[in-house]
């Protein structure tokens, strides 16, 4: 008997930002595989099982979930944010491609979620109102030299940039280096948005010009959005500013 596997994104952490479609999938699931803190966000019934693993064990987690589904279980693989953005959907696809033929026959569904850059952008106003890109600063799966080339390319091309995984204890220097690279192409007045745990009780949200942006404002739970030369700030008395990128752009 073959079960099914659903890959879900719970959103950035605020329960109100988990989609109804994902909530339905959680209600139907039997076994839940995921990073422990993401599983902790779920309100599972006694008859639903959870298999937690470390955040760096994505491929092993994907294989274990696929194996359980192949044995007949109704499986949920849990990501925070959106499962297709630097998350488990790609890991499951990679495992299927290199795994046994039986995994290719499984009923696999990916359900979207609100990813961190969308939550941070909504908190700020509309910094993604024009062309943008998303990058991870982690060099665990790609060389740092490639990250540097991409930063220069997208800054020179005029894209707003959303940075995931900006710093960690193992690589505390990379965000500062990224800011230095971006200052080669962007004005020092370019808005930089730091959004940590947006929508949760421990939210931290700040806006600073690129010339003063400090990596100490970020950790692994932070999404950093860097505007372009055309991104604007609207100051508001007694309130956070609105940051937006105009819908039109000059050549």
Domain span holding position 12: 4-110
Same domain, 122 and 146: yes
Residue 90: name the closest of 73, 72, 110, 74 by CA: 110
∠ at Cα 180 (124, 217), nearest 5°? Answer: 45
Same domain, 139 and 89: no
Residue 164 lies in a domain: yes
Strand order in the sheet with 239-244: 125-126, 239-244, 232-236
Q: How many CB atoms lie within 10 A of CB 91?
A: 21
Choose one of 86, 110, 134: the last residue of a domain: 110
Same domain, 132 and 200: yes
Residue 188 lies in a domain: yes
Same domain, 39 and 97: yes
User: pLDDT by residue (tens digit) across 46-90?
Assistant: 999 999 998 889 999 999 999 999 999 999 999 999 999 999 999
Residue 219 lies in a domain: yes
Same domain, 60 and 133: no
Q: Total domain count for the chain?
A: 2
Same domain, 9 and 94: yes
User: pLDDT by residue (tens digit) across 84-120?
Assistant: 999 999 999 999 999 999 999 999 999 999 999 999 9
User: pLDDT by residue (tens digit) across 149-177?
Assistant: 999 999 999 999 999 999 988 888 999 99
**Separation between Cα atoms, residue 13 and residue 81, nearest integer Å:** 8
């Amino acid at each position: 008997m073959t079960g099914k596997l659903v890959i879900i994104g719970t959103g950035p952490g605020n329960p109100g930002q988990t989609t109804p479609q994902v909530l339905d999938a959680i209600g139907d699931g039997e076994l839940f595989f995921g990073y422990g803190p993401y599983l902790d966000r779920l309100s599972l019934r006694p008859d639903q099982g959870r298999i937690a693993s470390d955040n760096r064990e994505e491929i092993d987690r994907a294989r274990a979930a696929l194996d359980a589904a192949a044995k007949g279980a109704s499986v949920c693989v849990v990501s925070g944010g959106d499962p297709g953005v630097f998350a488990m959907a790609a890991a499951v696809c990679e495992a299927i491609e290199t795994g046994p033929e039986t995994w290719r026959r499984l009923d696999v569904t990916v359900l979207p979620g609100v990813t961190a850059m969308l939550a941070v952008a909504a908190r700020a106003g509309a910094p993604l109102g024009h062309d943008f890109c998303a990058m991870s600063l982690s060099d665990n799966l790609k060389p740092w030299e490639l990250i540097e080339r991409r930063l220069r390319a997208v800054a020179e091309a005029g894209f707003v940039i959303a940075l995931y995984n900006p710093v960690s204890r193992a690589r505390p220097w990379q965000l500062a280096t990224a800011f230095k690279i971006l200052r080669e192409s962007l004005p020092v007045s370019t808005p930089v948005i730091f959004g940590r745990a947006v929508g949760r009780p421990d939210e931290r949200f700040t806006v600073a010009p690129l010339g003063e942006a400090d990596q100490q404002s970020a950790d692994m739970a932070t999404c950093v959005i860097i505007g372009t030369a055309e991104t604007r700030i609207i100051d508001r008395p007694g309130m956070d500013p609105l940051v937006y990128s105009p819908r039109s752009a000059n050549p």
